[in-house]
Structures are given as C-alpha cells and as structure tokens.
Structure 1
Amino acid sequence: MSHTVLRGKPNASQLYLDEVLNEILTAKGVVPDAKERDRLILAEIAFHCLKKRPNATNMINGSTGESFTNEQILKRAVSIARSIMARGAAGNNIMVVMRNHQNLFSIYWSLLLSGALPFMMDPSTTVYELGYFLQLLEPSIVFCDREYYNDIKKSLDDLPDLKTEVYICNEDDLLEDFINGHSNDIDSFRIPEGNPEDTILLLPTSGSTGLPKAVLLTNRGIVAHLPTSWTYHTKFPTPTDLVMVLTTAQWMTFTMKITTCAVYHIPILVTPKKRTVEHVIEIIENFRPTWTFFNPAFAKGLLAVVRREQIGSLETIILLGSLVTPDLVKEFKEKLHPDTHLCNGYGTTETQGFIAVTDRDAEASSNGWVYNILHYKLIDDNGAEVGPGSNGELYVKGECVVKGYYKNKEAYSESFVDGWYKTGDWFHLDENERLHFLERRKFNFKFRGCHVSPEEVEGVIGKLPGVHESVVVATEIGPAAAVVLLPEYDLTREDINKAVDSTLSDHKRLHGGIAFVDSLPHTHSGKLKRMECKKLIEELLKDGKCF
C-alpha cells in the first residue's frame, strides 16, 4: 500500500511514485518500506529525479523558443543554493517576484535545495500588495525581474527597519554576480537535513475576499500530491509528453507542476509574455503541448477564436478556478478531438493542490471523486453529515491539508475545525460518490430575507451569447451585475434581464441594475476579486452607469 493513500487502493501514479522513493532509499542503503518512504523530503526526491536524467528537457520558454535540460536548470540551482547558504539565508523567508522563464525555475529549485522558505508572488502584484507581504514575511532576500525592481525598492523604502536585499535575476550577468563563483557541481552538493512536517513553501491565497494570507505548505503534503495530476494516466514515467503552464508562480498549479513534472519526467512549456488568447494559440501551434489547464473565463475567450486544428495536440485539459458550466464543457468538447480528456477540476491552496478531477466516465457537471489522499464529508445546513444523494458543504482532512497561515491563527481557526478544512463550497454527492459543484456559500448574501448565490445568477448571464464574464454583488436595492462582453456583440440590459427574470426567483433578479464594463478585477490566479467588484459596482451606481 502506498504511504500516501488514506482510502481505497493506490492508483498507477501512486505506485510509480513508490518505485521512485524506493530507488532513492536503496541508493542510500536503506531498506524501503512505507515508513521510510514517508521520511523522504521533497528536495531529496526532486534532486534525485533531476539528476538521474541530465539530458532530458526540463522546460521550454515559449516566447524565445529556448529549451533547457535538467542538468542546465539544476547546475544553476545548485550554485544559487550554495550562495544562499553562504549568506546565512537558509531557513529564512525569501520572496520571488518573477515571470515564467528559465531563471525562475532555477531560483525555485535553489530555494528548496538550500532549505530557504520561498514565498512566490505574482509578477503583476501591486505596490500595496508588495508592501503588505514584505511587512508580514520580513524576507531576507527578494529575487525579481528588472521590471519589478523599482516597485519593490519603493515598498522597502516605507519599511526602513527591514534588512532585505533585492536581486535582479532575469539578466544572466546580474544573476552571476549573486552566484559569485559558487560551484555548480551537482555531485558534491548535499541537501540539508529536513523533516516531512517542515514548512517548505509559502503561497498567498487568492484574496478573493478580504486580505490575502500566506499558506504554510509542507514536505509531506506536497509529496502526497505529486501523483494526483496523473491519476487517470497509465504510462509511467512521462504520462504525457509536454505540459503547458500558463499560471504564475504564486499559484498552486504552477509550483505543483514544476515539482510533479520533475518527478514524472515531463517537460514544461511556459512563457514570460502576458497570457493573451493570441499568444497562447501561437505557442500551442508552435510546441504542441499535450496537457494543460485553463480558467473558465480564459477558456471562453479562447473558444471564441480558436480553430479545432490549432488545439489538436491537447490530450488533457483541466478547467478550474471558478464555476464551470455544462454549456462551456459542451462548447469546448465540440472543438476538441473526441479522445481529449476535458476535466472539471477542483482544488484549493489550503489542500496544497487538487481535491478532485473528473474521470473520463463522469458526466459534464461532475468534478469526479475526491482523491484517496483525503478523507472527506459533506455537512448540511443543520450541521449533520450527509451521504450520497445529498447536498452539503465539503470538508476535507489529510496530510496535504495545510497546518496554518503564516502569523494568522485567527484566520486558521475560522476555516478549520479538528483538522478538517471547511472549503465553503457546496456540492451534491451523487450515488457513485462523485462531487458536483453547486455554489460557493461564502459569497452568498441575502435580499428580502432570502439567500442569493451570485454564481447561480452569473451562470444564467454567462449562458447568453456574447457574454465573456460577469459578476453579481449585493447592493442596498438588490443584486446588481457588471458584465464584460466579447468583441462585436451587442447585448442589451433588456436581454440580460429577460434571461434572469425567466429563470430565477424574484429575489435573485437584478434589482440593483446592470453595468457594462471593459474588464473585471481578478486575483493573480484568475478568480474574481469580489470585494473590489462590489466597490466598482457601487461607484457605477453612484455615477448612474449601473441601472
């Protein structure tokens, strides 16, 4: 039995990971078993896998066309790690503000290999957000691209007590200055001692409501998640040929893909350029990735212009990050090869990755089975646990559920009880025990004494041809919506109201009005910033533009 499994039987992906861990233990002269496998830390696992295949492609920069081998990435990571340790920064918080390019990969691995604690931030973060996290984390070092250097220095000027050093890393000569002659010899490098319970990575939450938090991710939790992306694959190693990652470093999907692809020997395609539909189509056509994920809003924009043959290489696509409607799944499938696995994924930063991903036999509305690395239960409005055929809030528990937020015990106590993470998401559990997402209860509000689910109303609006995205918020006069239209569509307020009024109860209708906007504020992971959306709509109401 794989040591990562809490329920049921291990799958082929988990059994392959066991083989890798057994190989590491044998090389150390340790007799492999579940207890010994559980003691291995992520840095040790990844270092072994990258070192084992030095000439294999590690990553491809889709903007420049350059490719880099495991050895090239690892050699630079080892020299950076030695420099970090020589500066006495091992064990310290280190912030990373970089776009997706080869030096980011080396920086990421160097931090894990040195025992430093990386905090990964989105490159488009604001000066306010930088200042907030600098003050919270007090990092000893910030690694950044040149374009963010001035904003970081400006934020640090407001925090004179911080002794934080800032290094530009997207220019090789400046990165060489940081390395300053430290050896890149891989064979002589030794990974510091570590414990499976150690926090090894900090990631910001999405901040869709309130201020973002820094989540504490552990060795054991990330290792347990290494097989989950490949649960429905059967060929190992290299269950897929090329993974395309469009999310930035602060997002769990990015860091998880770097780690799992290293262990499962899969090259990664990234781009430092801004993620536009046109650029994504270009790199898909040029490099033919076989596996990727999109958030639903981006997927909808992609479907409006892409041709079937342009995305024909994709064998697996996971939609995640917000509500996935059956209509979107149906529209997407019409443009894909019949054998392409289109999945409705569900996961959180608090679980260090996916909770469930749709299997091939599941219907379009399903999120699939909860992974066997988690215990789970559904709790109804009365606080009672319910079984198949019922609806309730999803609670999950396991080693991959995070143990806290950095310097924020209050936030942890609000979302966790006895080790169970209360997701805030409402699901239907069908007779086969597959999940079906219903709504995000933490976004709900009341109007005229009745509950309104914004995502339910947004789902109705989103079905209308020409709607790219919408958000619904509470106002004093009732639910109101801001709507982004696709180019060349002429949808009216009357069209939207007619669709909502004919579908939903009176208290869910848009009594607060409708505003058409060019864009909506999003978190770096692509989720709506609902507090900012609410402020936007309140301003539009005052200006008479929401009616």
Structure 2
Amino acid sequence: MSHTVVRGKPRAAQLYVDGVLDAILLGQGVKPDPTTRATVTFSQIMLHCLKEKPNDEFMTNGATGEVITNEEVLRHAIPLARSLMALGAKGKYGILFMRNHQDTAAIYFASLFSGMIPFLMGANTTAFELTHFLKLIEPSYIFYDQEFHETLQEAMKGCPDLLTSTVISDCPETVKKFTQGHSDEVEGFEVASADMDDPIMLLPTSGSTGMPKAAILTQRGLVAQLATPWMYCTKFPTPTARTMVLTGIEWATFTMYVTASVAYHVPIVMTTKKVTAEHVIELMEMYRPTWAYFSPSFAVSLLALVRPDQLSSLETLVLLGSPATPELMATLQKKLPKDCHLCDGYGTTETHGYIAIPDREAPLKSNGWPLNFMHYKIIDESGQELVGPNQTGELWIKSSCTIKGYLKNRASFDETFTPDGWYMTGDVFHVDENHRISFVIRRKFSFKFRGCHVAPEEVERVIGSVPGVHESVVCSSDNGPVAAVVLQPGADVTREHIHKAVEATLSEHKRLHGGIAFVASLPHTHSGKLKRSECRTLIADLLKRGECC
C-alpha cells in the first residue's frame, strides 16, 4: 500500500513513486516501509531523480531551441543552493520573478534544495501588485529577470524599509558573483534537512475577490501530489514522451508538471515567449509534445487557428483553471487524435494541485473520481453531509495535501478550513451513479435575482458557446444578470446572437436582463482566472455609461 493512499488501491503511478522513495532510503541505509517512506522529502526526490539520469534531456527552451540535460540543471542549481545555504537562507522567504527558461528551473530547484521558501511570481505582475507581495512576504532574496528590473524598482519605492538581496537571474555575471566560491560538484551535495510539514514554497491564490493571498505549500503535500499527472498511465518510468508546460511559475500546474516530469523522466518544452495560439502551434509542430494542458479560454483561442494535424502528437490534453463548456470539449475532441485522452481536470492551490482528473472511461462532462489520497464529502446548503450517488452539493476535502495556511492571514484560513481540517472548496459538484464528480457552480460567486439563484459560470458557459466569443463575465445588477463579453479578433457577433443563445438555454431569471457590453479585455489574476471584484467595478462603470443593452 502506497503510504499516501487513504481510500481504495494505489495506482501504478503511486507505486512507481514508492520505488523512488525506496531507492532513496536504501541509499541512506534505511529499510523502506510505509513509515520511513513518509519521511522522504520532496526536495530529496527531486535531487535523486535529476542525478539518476544525468544525460537525459530535462527541457527544451521553445523560444531558443536550447536543449538542457538533467546534469546541466544540477550544475547550475547546486552552486546557487550552496550559496543560499551558506548565507543562512533556510527557512527565510525569497521571491522568484521570472519567465520560463532554464535559469528559472535552476533557481527553482536551488530554492527547494537550500530550504529557502520561494514565493513564485509570474511575468504579468504589475508594480502595484508586486508592492503588495513585497510587504506581505518581506523576502530576504529576490531573483528576477532583467526585463522586470523597472517593475521591481518601482515596487520597492513603496517598501523603503525592506532589506533584501537581489540577483538578476538571467545575467550570468550576477549569478556567478552570487555563487562565487561554491562548487557545482553534484555527488557530494545534499539538500537541506526538512520535516515533512515544513513550508517548501508559497503560491499566490487566485485573488478573484481581492488581492491574492500567499498559500503555504509543504513537503508532504507535494509528495502526495507527485503521481497525479500520470495517475491513469500504465507505462513507467516514462509514461509519455514529452510534456508541454505553458503556465508560469506562479501556477500550481508549473510545479505539478515540472516536478512530476523530473520524477518520471519525461522531457519538457517551455518557452520564454508570450503564450499565444500562434506560438503554441509553432511549439506543437516543432517539438511534438504528447502531453499538454490548456486553460479553457486559451483552448477557445487556439481552436480558431489550429488544424488537426498540428495536434496529432497529443496523447493527453487536460483542461484546467476554470470549467470547460460541453461545446468546447466536443469541438476539441473533433480536432484531436481519435485516441487522445481529453479531460477536464479539477484542482486548487489549497490542495497543492489536483483534486480529480478523469479516467479514460469517464464521460466527457465529468471531472473524474476524487483522488485516492483524499477523503471527501458533499455538503448541502444547510451544512449536512449528503451520502451516496446522485447528490449535488459543495465539495469538502481532507488530506495530507491541503495547505498549511495563508501567510500572515489566519482569518482567511479559518474561513476556508473547518476546525477539524476540512477544506471547503466553495465549488458545487454533482456525484453520479459511479461516484465520479462533475462541476456545477462556484457557490461564492452566485447571486439572486427575483428570489432565485444565478450562477455566473452557468451563464458564462452558454455565452462562451456562441461562435466568436473569446470569454465573458456575468455579474448582478438592479435589472438582473449583466455580461461583459470579449470577442475573438474579427468575430461578427451581436448582442442578439448572445441573447438568443441564453434565452434558448436558461431559465427566465438567468437571462441577461441587465444587458450586454462588448469590451476589449477583462481583468485576470496571476493564475489566469477572472478578477471578479474588478469585473464588478468594470460592469458598474459600463452600466453608468449606458453601454449595457
């Protein structure tokens, strides 16, 4: 029995991780068993797996074509880790503010190895948002790309008392100076000691209803999640030929797929370029990834341009980040290879990653079974647990993979977790007759009109089914639901088209009585989700100007 599993049988992917843990323990002269396996840290796993096959490809930089081996990553990461250890960085906070490239990967692993706790921040961060993070994190070290220098300097004006060391991550001279006197020798290196429940990194939460929080991820939580990308695979140690990683370091998916690829010896392709549909098509044609994941909104923009032959290398495509419409899933399925596993995954930062991922036999609309290292239950609006299949209610999770808390924000943690440790996802799911779950609505975003509940996501899914719509957001108004809609370039979509689709599909109280406004873009969080608080402000301004009709 795999030490992380609490329900049912372990999957082959989890048993493979057990084998990795056993190899690490035997190398330490420790007898492997479930108790000792539970002491092997995530950092130890990463070091062991990178060392295990030094000549294997770790990644290809899709922007430059450079191929980086495991040994090359280690020889960059280890001097950085040794330098951080010598400076006493273990247990201190750092910030990583970078795009996806080989230097990012090396500094990411150096942080894990050294015991510094990095806050991972994406390329779209503004100076205003960075000031918020600097005040919250109070980092001792900041690693950043040269292109973000002005943003960092502007943000630091708002933190005059902050004492921090900065390193330009993509400047070899600066990095060389920081690591001076520290060897890149791999064999003699050991990661910093850690307890399984120690913080390992901080990730921004979505911030969809306000400024982002910093979620505290642990060694134990990441170990539990390590097998999830390959949960339904059967070929090991390399379950797929190449993974394409498109999300920035601030996404839980970056950590999930980069580290799982290391553990299972799957090469990855990443890019420093802006992730557009055109660039992803270039990556697909040049590097032929077999495994990829997209946000639904990105998939919509890709479908307008991509041909089936350009997707023909894909064996698995996962949609993540927000619910996918049935129309999007059906359209994608038509363009993907016949045997490609298309699935609508579900996860959160608060669980270090996945909560459910569909198996190959799952219906297209399903998110799959809740993973076997989690306890879960379905709760109705009165707070009572609903038992058995064919139930609909809020999903609650209890697991070793839930976060330790939010940095300096106990109140938000207490709002999200029960005193006995259940994570209240805020998402309503339907449990089918086979105990698979399917997303219904995000409870916290719903509102009432004419005494009836309106789930914005439900209306947004219908709007998104109209050909030519890129994305939308729905909010409440005095007159009823109102929408701001972004169209795809060149799309000929009218308000009448959208009203017809909504009225043909949804009940009277869910229709867009407040009107529709067309906008160039909508505000998003660092993880690509809608900033609903800012969307409400945007729509209020549109209503005042009379642009919603």
TM-score > 0.5, shorter chain as reference: yes
Does residue 1:401 correspond to 2:402, yes or no? yes
SS of the aligned residue for 2:337 comes to: coil
- Whether contact under 8 Å (2:229, 2:256) holds in the other structure is no
Q: Which string of whole-angstrom CA distances, capped at 9 and with x for unpartnered residues, describes residues 339-389 of structure 1?
A: 100011000000001000111111111000000010000001222211211
Q: Which string of whole-angstrom CA distances, capped at 9 and with x for unpartnered residues, describes residues 69-88 of structure 1?
A: 00000111000011112222
- Matching residue's letter, 1:75: R
Which aligned pairs between 1:40-439 and structure 2 lie closer than 5 A?
40-386=40-386, 387-417=388-418, 418-439=420-441
CA distance in 2, matches of 1:414, 1:60: 42
CA distance in 2, matches of 1:87, 1:354: 35
SS of the aligned residue for 1:343 comes to: strand
SS of the aligned residue for 1:464 comes to: coil
- Whether contact under 8 Å (2:495, 2:516) holds in the other structure is yes
SS of the aligned residue for 2:533 comes to: helix
The CA deviation at 1:544 is: 2.0
- Matching residue's letter, 1:390: Q
CA distance in 2, matches of 1:191, 1:147: 31
CA distance in 1, matches of 2:505, 2:20: 53
Does residue 1:515 correspond to 2:517, yes or no? yes
Can you give the 5+ residue segments of structure 2 that lack an aligned partner in the other structure?
none
- Matching residue's letter, 1:225: Q
CA distance in 2, matches of 1:158, 1:527: 27
Can you give the 5+ residue segments of structure 1 that lack an aligned partner in the other structure?
none
The CA deviation at 1:511 is: 1.7
- Whether contact under 8 Å (2:245, 2:258) holds in the other structure is no
SS of the aligned residue for 1:39 comes to: coil
Q: Which string of whole-angstrom CA distances, capped at 9 and with x for unpartnered residues, describes residues 82-101 of structure 1?
A: 11122222221000000000
The CA deviation at 1:166 is: 1.6
Which aligned pairs between 1:432-451 and structure 2 lie closer than 5 A?
432-451=434-453
Does residue 1:544 correspond to 2:519, yes or no? no
SS of the aligned residue for 2:220 comes to: helix
- Whether contact under 8 Å (2:515, 2:548) holds in the other structure is yes
CA RMSD of the aligned region, Å? 1.0
SS of the aligned residue for 2:406 comes to: coil
SS of the aligned residue for 2:38 comes to: helix
- Matching residue's letter, 1:169: S
CA distance in 1, matches of 2:364, 2:52: 40
SS of the aligned residue for 1:502 comes to: helix
CA distance in 2, matches of 1:307, 1:495: 26
The CA deviation at 1:489 is: 2.1
The CA deviation at 1:189 is: 1.4
The CA deviation at 1:67 is: 0.8
The CA deviation at 1:176 is: 1.5
The CA deviation at 1:328 is: 0.9
Q: Which ranges of 4 or more aligned residues in structure 1 deviate by more than 3 Å? A: none
The CA deviation at 1:160 is: 1.5
The CA deviation at 1:493 is: 1.1
CA distance in 2, matches of 1:190, 1:320: 35
Q: Which string of whole-angstrom CA distances, capped at 9 and with x for unpartnered residues, describes residues 184-239 of structure 1?
A: 11112122211111111110101111221100111111001101111110011011
- Matching residue's letter, 2:332: F
Query: Which segment is superposed worse, 309-318 or 145-154?
Result: 145-154
Alignment length (residue pairs): 547
Query: Which segment is superposed worse, 522-531 or 136-145?
Result: 522-531
| Identity in percent | 55
- Whether contact under 8 Å (2:90, 2:192) holds in the other structure is no
CA distance in 2, matches of 1:191, 1:362: 41
